[in-house]
Structure 1
């Protein structure tokens, strides 16, 4: 099984600043950076190991300083760890007095940012991040080209058309062909080969469903149930229960935690 790709940037923030963090994350992603952040990871200690792993793996850590985050031990610990690893990029999103340990560091001020990529302070942020991770490459969206239509010759145009012969099949259709993985991708959902990952708890697995912009939560859930039931039969389980659901806004996927019973 292939490892998850390493993100360029880890964003540390206080939950109350989630809207600003989301706007910055989207702008960085548009600029070609890959990010790891998740608003739901502030809800419990069970995610501490995940946060620590992603914090260590990320090439760069952006810490958003605000009146709330300077009081957060979580954010200050993450900033201190990133500073120790020499990959900290501090950003102030409000006029605030920085924690003592970080007062002497050069800090970008995004106060008054209007969300534009051409905003001077945001351009400076991209420049500082680029020094650490390298110049990000903007994602290219490939648009399929329309097939060229063959132009008939004059001889073909003047040729008298032959009436099509009708063929009647007497064999009834008894089976409906199953969709393959490619048809599922074009239907708006996909697993991209992630499959089921064991969580470490007995008979508990995680399945990830990627969705396109046209698929809502209901569509993702239906695809998850389809994958879960297929896995349940192949693994010899008799029943299952979806115990948790989480959505990644940046990367566009749903994670479902599933408990199976034999």
Structure 2
């Protein structure tokens, strides 16, 4: 029986074309996956370009302290965000806080026994620390209670407010500390 060589030849070409096509599809998929894994780290927002100068994370029991502290930073010309400021009736807390953290130029976390035991604050800590490590955003640990800082936070100089009576402190240490933080937030990245 004679063999149809034309059919065999076309079948072989079809097989090769299929293999080549599959190879190029494989390369394209690998390239896309590689790009996702190795995304460039975004640059920190330029001074004055972010809607907020700083996002403040804290535990519920520290809310009164944070309100007074944020007000003092605001008096120094900083646009301060924290959950109570960015929340709107009907909004979804996780989305509004996440957006505020992402849009803030820098991050600050108030470390106290309450905040150290809060799952919500741990999530905010991760969201604040990652851009600090990856893109140079300033992260300032603010210590208001007797706590041991987590390892990554402990690599930063912290602002120690332990034992200070708040804005009414007679020795002016509270105001000096707030001034130091405000200066650090304004000057970070300007060199």
TM-score range, shorter chain: 0.5 to 0.7
3-state SS of paired residue (1:8): strand
1:19 paired with 2:19, answer no
Deviation at 1:133, TM superposition (A): 7.3
Instruction: Give the distance between the partners of 2:123 and 2:91, measured in 1 at CA.
Output: 15
Is the alpha carbon distance of 1:70 and 1:34 closer, same or farther for their aligned partners in structure 2, counting shifts above 3 Å? same
1:154-198 Cα shifts (integer Å, max 9, x gaps): xxxxxxxxxxxxxxxxxxxxxxxxxxxxxxxxxxxxxxxxxxxxx
- 5 Å-filtered alignment, 1:107-122, equals 107-111=158-162, 112-115=164-167, 118-119=172-173, 120-122=176-178
Distance 1:17 1:25 in 2: 12
Match of 2:180 among 124, 132, 138: 124
Equivalent residues in 2 for 1:63-74, closer than 5 Å: 63-74=109-120
| Aligned residue in 1 for 2:104 | 58
Q: Is the 8 A contact 1:90 1:107 kept in 2?
A: yes
- Gapped runs of 5+ residues in structure 2? 1-49
Whether contact under 8 Å (2:73, 2:178) holds in the other structure is: no
TM-score (norm 1): 0.44
Q: Which has the higher strand share?
A: 1
The answer as to whether partners of 2:53 and 2:185 remain within 8 angstroms in 1 is: no
Paired residue secondary structure (2:99):
helix
* Deviation per residue, 1:55-91 (Å, 9 max, x gap): 0000111110001101112212212222211231111
Q: Is the 8 A contact 1:10 1:62 kept in 2?
A: yes
RMSD: 2.7
- C-alpha offsets along residues 190-209 of structure 1, whole Å, 9 cap, x if unaligned? xxxxxxxxxxxxxxxxxxxx
Q: Aligned pair 1:48/2:94, yes or no?
A: yes
Deviations 1:193-242 (A, max 9, x none): xxxxxxxxxxxxxxxxxxxxxxxxxxxxxxxxxxxxxxxxxxxxxxxxxx
Alpha carbons of structure 1 residues 113 and 79: separation in structure 2 relative to 1, 3 Å: farther
Report the equivalent of 2:141: 90
